[in-house]
Structures are given as C-alpha cells and as structure tokens.
Structure 1
Amino acid sequence: MAQGREQLTEVRLEVPTATELRRQIVQSQTSAVFSFANSFRKQGLVSTSRVEMADSPGIRPKDKRKRVNYENTYKMTPDRPFPYVEVRRIISDVINSHLKDEKYDQNSCRQHTKTLAEMIKMRVKELSIPRYKIVCLVHIGQINGQTVRVASQCLWNPEFDTFAEYSFKNGSLFATGQVYGVYYE
C-alpha cells in the first residue's frame, strides 16, 4: 500500500461586484450588436442599434439644455380637490368605446392596455388639474370562471391624494382602469 502526500493548495476566487458584472454584460451585448451590425453592412444592408444601461457612466450623452431652478411655493394644499367624478367618467368612456365588442386575445389585449392607459392619461391631463401627478393603470384579462383581484400600494397623503377607478366586463374579457391623483407640494 503506497502512501502519498496530500498537498493542500489554496485557491482564491475573485468574485466581481454587481456593477462589474453589469458592465461585462453590457460590453458583451454591445459587441454582439456591433458584430451583427457589421455583418449587415458587409451584405449591403444598413442597420443601427444602440444598447444603453442607465447606470453605466459615459454611455449617455450630456444634456446640453440649461437647468431651470424653480423657487419653492410652499403651497401645501390644492386650490380645488381632485375631480373624481369627471376622471371616472373619462375612464368609463374610453374603456367602453374601445372594448365594447372586443373578444379576448392575449396579443391584442397587451397592446390595448398600453393604448387605453395612454388615452385615459391624455384625456385626464386635458382637465388641467394643477399640481397633481397622474398615474394611470389598465388591466385586461379573460373571463374564464376565475377570480382576479387587482391591488396597488403606494405612499401618499390621504387628505389630498385620491384615485378613480372603473371596471368593465363583456362576454369574453374584463378590464379595470385606475387613475391615481397624487398632489405634488
């Protein structure tokens, strides 16, 4: 029976930080995009692509506009309350007019949620509610014998901040629309 010496070797692993990993991923994605674009150029096709990451320094161009500094108004209460009834009417008008005869299709409903949210937000902004930030959410789902609960959570002042909502249902789909009005002091 042969006896051998066991050698212990120390292995040090260098683990990159999360920021370094993100930079490596962006660099690999960027190089893949550029090699893809170069192959298009060689074939006579023209294509441009850009990969950006918000926290990567040096990727974003500097903003050349002058910054405007506003003075504080110290206005702690709104001039008029959030028009809940008018906003609810806008939500119901938009949803009813677009989804009245629609059948559920997951691909088209994905686009409908974006379109409806933008339309509702634009119509609410036309009310010119001063000093309120507007957040609009639309959910669309299939009616198939299930129960769905939509919940949201945020930090706000219950004295001035509020929301308006509307629910819609036809034979094959349901939709909910919510508009949050958050007072900006």
Structure 2
Amino acid sequence: MNPHNGGNSFGVTPVDVAVRHLAFLLLTIMSSFHAPQPSTSALTEYQLMQLKKQQQREKTRARMARYRQKMKELPEGEKEEILGRARAARARYRERNRVKLLDTAKCKHRAAFEAKYGAQAYEAKLEAQRQQQLEAHDRPRRRDRVKAAKKPKPPSQPPIPARRTNFKSIGAINDGDFGDFDSD
C-alpha cells in the first residue's frame, strides 16, 4: 500500500485493485445463487388467501350437508319434483350460455367480415353456405361414392399367385440344357 513498492500516491497498488474486483465478482456470483427469500408480508397474504379458501370450502360443505339432510326428510314425490326442477334449470342455464357464446362468436365474425368485405358480401357468403349444405344433403355420402367408384373384381378369375421362381419346375435346368451359357 505504500508508494515505494509500485503503488500510487494514494497507497493503492494494482494488486489491491485486482483483489477488490475479484472480491466484487465473487460476491455477485454468490448472491445470484441464493434465491431471494419471500417477504413476510407476501407470506401472510398467501396464508390469508389459503385461509379464505378453506373457510369457503367449509361453508360449501356445510351447505351441501344441510341440503342432503333436507332432501332425506322430504317425501319421495316432492324430492323428485325438486330434482326435476333443478335439472331443468341446469339445462336452461347450459342452453342460454351456449346460445350466448354462439351469438358472441357470430357477431364478432360478422363484424370483422363486414368491415373487410361489406354487408352484401356477408349475405352472399351465408347464401352460398346454405346452398352448399342443401347440395350436400342431396349428394351421396363420400363413403358411398368411394364404394361405388371401386370396381369389383370379376369372381370368375382365379387369384393371381405371387411370383416366385421355383427352379424344380423349370424343365431346362432339370434336363441339363443350359443353352448358350455352357459354351465356354
């Protein structure tokens, strides 16, 4: 650290600077390996959320238990009536949501199409789709068309055997007559 052994007037040698850089690099590397600890406030918020969920589940469980007990105490006719009403309500709700989703999707599609091509083009497209559906009903199904297009083999023809060379059935080899091959 003194200026007589290669340091500057402040007493800092190049070795000191290098050591400090290395120490700083080492600290940054070590700190990157340690994940930051969650703060206590975030932990308590998470615990509060879990507690609320648990309370909600318990409330639902208790409500369902009361409902089941009530249903047990009802006479059979009333029970069936209540269950039928609940089934009908669920079906209505499902249908309403399905129609709502379809309408929303159709409206978005129609608005985008009309903005791009115009209202008459959308009507023409709908008409073309209707016409295509009508034609599809008149036309035979693809499976039937494919069956009709395939030509059946005539039953009188025997099946063609696989082509294999059976040397014993070739007479020239059995007779020993090889033709031009044995001229040498």
* Greater radius of gyration (CA): 2
Query: Do the structures match in fold with TM over 0.5?
Result: no
TM-score relative to the length of structure 2? 0.18
TM-score normalized by the length of structure 1: 0.18
- Tell me which protein shows more helix as a share of its residues: 2
Structure of greater relative contact order (alpha carbons < 8 Å, 6+ residues apart) = 1
